[in-house]
Chains A and B, each alone.
Chain A
C-alpha cells in the first residue's frame, strides 16, 4: 500500500476551533445558506471577522500550502476521518499529501447531511450513512472551494476563469504558461459575488477521480498505534471528579438505598445522587467511586420484566405466530394466501434469535462540566448521536441549545449503542450536582453488559410455497418480538422476484432495554430468509446458487454479486473432506453475497469457519481497502454473534455480566481468510458497515445443512445446540 502521508488530527470544539485558527489563514465556509470567505493576516482581525460572520468552515488553507479539512461525522472505526475529507479534496483538487483532518465543530446547521425529512440537516452517525449521506454534500463543498480559488486566480491574473484548470493544489493558466499553488494564492483570495451550487452538474466525472477509489491510508491510524488517540474515557480535567451508578440487573427497577450515611462516610465520597433506576455516587477518585458502588446496599422494586424468562418465551411467541389475527403489515405483494392454497408444495419453519449485546470495547462514559451558574455546559463524549439534540443536555439543564458545547471524541466502538444518550444524561445530572467541577462518568463492563440495550429476541415464522415447476410462488414472513423496526428491518425481499410476499410484525413487550445493534433486524431476518431458501433448494434438489440465480433475474446488481462470489469461492468445486460451503445474500444499502466454508467437530458441536468470500456492490467506493476492512470486521462480528453470543434473562434478571459470561470471538477462532471483491460502479455510494454481518448466520446454517443434512434454526449456534441438532 502506498503511504501517501502521515496526517495529524486533533478533535476540535467550536471555541478551540476559533482559537486554533490564528496566523495567516483563509476559511471558505458556509454560514447558513450563504457562503462566506474570510481572509486575514492577523489572528485578531480574523477572530473579529469570525465573530461577526459566525462562520464555520469546511476547509482552511494557509500560505505554506497546508489544507485542513473538517470531518463532520463521528469516527468509530468506520473511517469517516478519511472518507469524507477525501471526497472534499477530490473535488477541490487538493494535494492530499498536504491535507490535515480535524473534527468539525458540532453544528448541524452547517455541517449536517440531509436529514430524515426534506430540508432538514442531521449529524447522526448511524445506519451506515457516513459516506452515503455526505457524498454529495462533500463533493459540492469541495467544488465550491475550488471555484473560489479559480475565481481568485482569474481576478489576480486578470484572465477569464474559463481558461483556468487545476491539478493537485495548483491553478494553471495554460495559455500564458502560468501556475500558482493554492498556498501562494492565499494573499490574493477574493470571494466571488455568487457561488455555483453545483446542483446541475459541474462536478467531476467519476472516471476522472484521482483520490476517490485509490489506496489512501486512514488519517487517524497513526494515533491509534501509539496510544495518543483520545477517547472520552481518556479525558482528564483540572478538579475533575468521578461518577458511577449502580443499576439493577432487572431493567428500570427502582432502587431504595439502605445505607446512604455509610456510603457518604466512605473515603473520598462526595455525593450520593438517586436516579429513578439507579444510585449515583460521586467521589474524588475513580477507585473511591467504585469502592462506594460496591458498598451500596440497595433494595430493588419489581419492574415490567419481573418474571420474564427469555428462553421460555419462544413457546409464547410460537403461539402468537399461530394466532389468526394479523400483525402490523411490513410488506405485501400479490396474494400469499391464494398462492399457498394452490401450491404444489409448502414449507414452514420457525427461526429463533436470542438477545445479543453490543460489547463495544470502550465502556460507556462521558465527561460533563456545568458552569457554576448552571447556564452553560461542556460535554466530552464519543457519540453516534452528534450535536442534533446536544445529547439531551440542554433540556436536562433547562438551558438553550447553543449554551451546550459538545466536544466529539473518538468512539471506542459504537455498533448502535452510542446512538443512545442515556449515559450522557446520567453524567449531566451528576455534573449539575457537582457544578462547576467536571465529572467523568464511567460504566464498568458489568454495568455495560447488564444495563445494555440489546438486539431484541425474535421468532421468525416463515411459510413458503412452490409451484409445479419448483419455483417459489409465495414467501410469508412473520416476525414476533419487541421493538418495531428493530425486529422488522431486513424482512423484505426486494431483490428476489417472488410473485407473492407478505411480511408482518407481531408485537411483544417485556420491559427489556433494546436498541439498534449493527445491522438491526437484518441479522435475524436475513438468517431466516436465507436459511429457508436453502431448505427449499435442498428439498427440491437444486443448487443454492442456481436457486438464487433464478430469483435474482430482475436484479442485475444483486445477481452480479452472486455470480462473482460463486467464482471467487470456487463454488462448483468440492470442498475438502469434512467441509462444506454455504451462501447467503444481504441488501443493506449496498448489496453483497457471501460464501463461507465450515467444518463441524461432531464430538463437541463446535463449528469452525475456515474461509469467507464476499462480492459487494456499494456504488462508488471511496476507500476500497477500508471497505474491505469493514467487510472483514462485519464478518468477524457476525461469526462471534452467530456462534457464541447470547444474553439471557431469568425472572427479568440479566444473567451475563462480563466477557467471561458473554464470550466474544477470539484470535484462534477466526477464519484463515476473508476475501472481498468490490464490483466496480459509478452509482451513488451505499453504506457498507452493516452488509457483511447479516450474511453470516445464513451462510453458516446453509453450509451446515449441506455438510450434515441437518437444520440450524436457533441463534446462536452454540456447541450444545449444534450437538442437539446433530443427535436429533
Chain B
C-alpha cells in the first residue's frame, strides 16, 4: 500500500492503494466517482475517458503512481457545475444516449476536442471520436450533438 494525492476536479484526494493500481479503480472504487465507466480495461473502447491536464486519456491504462504528481484530472462529474456544459445540453437536445453507459466517455472525448478546436469539421469529429465505442449505436446522434454544441459555442462566443 502507498499513499497518493490526486487532484481531481479541482479538489485534492488522498488515497491509500497498492502501487500500480489502475486510475480507473481509484476513481470508481476508492474515490467514488463512478461516472467514469469500466468496459474493456485495455484502452480499446474509451468508456473510461477522462482529461489529464486537458488531454483525453483512458483511465483504465493509467497507473495511479503516474498521475499523482500534481496533474489535473477531470472526470464527467467535474465537466460542469450543474451538468450544463454545452455538450451535455446538446446531448439532451439530440436525445443521444440509449443505455447511457458509454456516454460519459463520449462526452469527455468530445469536450477535449472542442476545447482545442472549437470548429471541427464532420470528418475531424468522426476521427477524434473513433476510439469511443457505443454498442447501442447512438453514433449519429452523438455527431449531431457535437455539431449542435459547436454551433452554439461559436455563436455565443
Given A659-B40, A674-B140, answer yes or no on A667-B103 (Cβ-Cβ < 8 Å): no
Secondary structure of the B contact surface, majority rule: loop
Q: Which of B21, B35, B47, B140 is in CB contact (< 8 Å) with A287?
A: B21
Given A361-B134, A637-B137, A667-B129, answer yes or no on A231-B77 (Cβ-Cβ < 8 Å): no
The answer to whether A412 touches B137, judged by C-beta atoms less than 8 angstroms apart, is: no
- How many Å lie between the Cα of A221 and that of B91 in the bound state? 9
The answer to whether B133 touches A236, judged by C-beta atoms less than 8 angstroms apart, is: no
- The residues in A between 677 and 703 inclusive whose CB is less than 8 angstroms from any CB of B are none
Distance (whole angstroms) from the CB of A359 to the closest CB of chain B: 5
The answer to whether A659 touches B133, judged by C-beta atoms less than 8 angstroms apart, is: yes
The answer to whether A224 touches B97, judged by C-beta atoms less than 8 angstroms apart, is: yes
- How many Å lie between the Cα of A668 and that of B133 in the bound state? 11
Distance (whole angstroms) from the CB of B80 to the closest CB of chain A: 8
Interface size on B, residues (CB 8 A): 60
Contacts of A397 in B (CB 8 A): none
The answer to whether A227 touches B76, judged by C-beta atoms less than 8 angstroms apart, is: yes
Most chain B beta-carbon contacts within 10 A, residue among A234, A242, A446: A234
- The residues in A between 432 and 447 inclusive whose CB is less than 8 angstroms from any CB of B are 442, 444-446
Q: Contact flags (1/0) for A396-437 with B, using CB distance below 8 Å?
A: 000000000000001111110000000000000000000000
Secondary structure of the A contact surface, majority rule: loop
Q: Which of A626, A635, A636 is in CB contact (< 8 Å) with B95?
A: A626
- How many Å lie between the Cα of A625 and that of B126 in the bound state? 23
The answer to whether A77 touches B98, judged by C-beta atoms less than 8 angstroms apart, is: yes
The answer to whether B99 touches A77, judged by C-beta atoms less than 8 angstroms apart, is: yes
The answer to whether A658 touches B98, judged by C-beta atoms less than 8 angstroms apart, is: no
Contacts of A236 in B (CB 8 A): 29, 32, 34
Distance (whole angstroms) from the CB of B60 to the closest CB of chain A: 10
Task: Tell me if A51 is interfacial: C-beta within 8 Å of chain B.
Answer: no
- How many Å lie between the Cα of A91 and that of B107 in the bound state? 37
* Residue of A whose beta carbon sits closest to that of B127: A668
Contacts of A223 in B (CB 8 A): 100
Q: Which of A3, A267, A635, A674 is in CB contact (< 8 Å) with B93?
A: A3
The answer to whether A287 touches B92, judged by C-beta atoms less than 8 angstroms apart, is: no
* Residue of A whose beta carbon sits closest to that of B103: A224
Q: Contact flags (1/0) for B59-86 with A, using CB distance below 8 Å?
A: 0000000000000000111011001000
Contacts of A640 in B (CB 8 A): 137
Given A234-B34, A362-B101, answer yes or no on A445-B39 (Cβ-Cβ < 8 Å): yes
Distance (whole angstroms) from the CB of B92 to the closest CB of chain A: 6
Distance (whole angstroms) from the CB of B157 to the closest CB of chain A: 21
The answer to whether A361 touches B47, judged by C-beta atoms less than 8 angstroms apart, is: yes
Given A288-B18, A636-B137, answer yes or no on A362-B129 (Cβ-Cβ < 8 Å): no
- How many Å lie between the Cα of A233 and that of B132 in the bound state? 19
Q: Which of B37, B41, B96 is in CB contact (< 8 Å) with A412?
A: B37
* Residue of B whose beta carbon sits closest to that of A671: B140
Task: Tell me if B135 is interfacial: C-beta within 8 Å of chain A.
Answer: yes
- How many Å lie between the Cα of A446 and that of B60 in the bound state? 14
Q: Contact flags (1/0) for A324-337 with B, using CB distance below 8 Å?
A: 00000000000000
Contacts of B36 in A (CB 8 A): 227
Contacts of B92 in A (CB 8 A): 3, 217, 221-222, 225
Task: Tell me if A152 is interfacial: C-beta within 8 Å of chain B.
Answer: no
Contacts of A234 in B (CB 8 A): 28, 34
Distance (whole angstroms) from the CB of A597 to the closest CB of chain B: 15
The answer to whether B136 touches A77, judged by C-beta atoms less than 8 angstroms apart, is: yes
- How many Å lie between the Cα of A412 and that of B36 in the bound state? 13
Distance (whole angstroms) from the CB of A633 to the closest CB of chain B: 4
Q: Which of A225, A287, A410, A668 is in CB contact (< 8 Å) with B17?
A: A287
Q: Contact flags (1/0) for A234-256 with B, using CB distance below 8 Å?
A: 10100000100000000000000
Most chain B beta-carbon contacts within 10 A, residue among A225, A285, A413: A225
Contacts of A225 in B (CB 8 A): 83, 88, 91-92, 96-97, 103, 107
- How many Å lie between the Cα of A551 and that of B92 in the bound state? 43
Task: Tell me if B102 is interfacial: C-beta within 8 Å of chain A.
Answer: yes
Q: Contact flags (1/0) for A353-367 with B, using CB distance below 8 Å?
A: 000000111110000
- The residues in B between 1 and 53 inclusive whose CB is less than 8 angstroms from any CB of A are 17-18, 21-22, 25, 28-30, 32-42, 44-45, 47
The answer to whether A285 touches B100, judged by C-beta atoms less than 8 angstroms apart, is: no
Task: Tell me if A228 is interfacial: C-beta within 8 Å of chain B.
Answer: yes
Contacts of B21 in A (CB 8 A): 287
Q: Contact flags (1/0) for B119-132 with A, using CB distance below 8 Å?
A: 00000001101111
Task: Tell me if B143 is interfacial: C-beta within 8 Å of chain A.
Answer: yes
- How many Å lie between the Cα of A707 and that of B148 in the bound state? 36
- How many Å lie between the Cα of A444 and that of B39 in the bound state? 8
- How many Å lie between the Cα of A229 and that of B130 in the bound state? 24
* Residue of A whose beta carbon sits closest to that of B125: A667
- How many Å lie between the Cα of A286 and that of B28 in the bound state? 10
The answer to whether B138 touches A632, judged by C-beta atoms less than 8 angstroms apart, is: yes
Task: Tell me if A664 is interfacial: C-beta within 8 Å of chain B.
Answer: yes
The answer to whether B47 touches A667, judged by C-beta atoms less than 8 angstroms apart, is: no
- The residues in A between 64 and 84 inclusive whose CB is less than 8 angstroms from any CB of B are 76-79
Distance (whole angstroms) from the CB of A482 to the closest CB of chain B: 24
The answer to whether B130 touches A1, judged by C-beta atoms less than 8 angstroms apart, is: no
Interface, chain B (partner A; CB < 8 A): 17-18, 21-22, 25, 28-30, 32-42, 44-45, 47, 75-77, 79-80, 83, 88, 91-93, 95-104, 107, 126-127, 129-143
List 4 A-B pairs, minimum CB-CB distance, nearest first.
A227-B35, A636-B137, A77-B98, A224-B100
Q: Can you add 4 more A-B contacts, CB < 8 Å, to A361-B45, A660-B44, A668-B130?
A: A217-B95, A233-B34, A285-B30, A359-B135
Interface, chain A (partner B; CB < 8 A): 1, 3, 76-79, 217-218, 220-231, 233-234, 236, 242, 267, 285-288, 291, 359-363, 410-415, 442, 444-446, 625-626, 629, 632-637, 640, 658-660, 664-668, 670-671, 673-674
What are 21 residue pairs bridging A and B, where the CB atoms are less than 8 Å apart in the complex? A3-B92, A76-B98, A77-B99, A223-B100, A225-B83, A227-B76, A229-B100, A234-B34, A287-B21, A359-B135, A360-B101, A360-B135, A361-B134, A414-B99, A629-B138, A632-B138, A636-B139, A637-B135, A658-B40, A658-B44, A667-B142
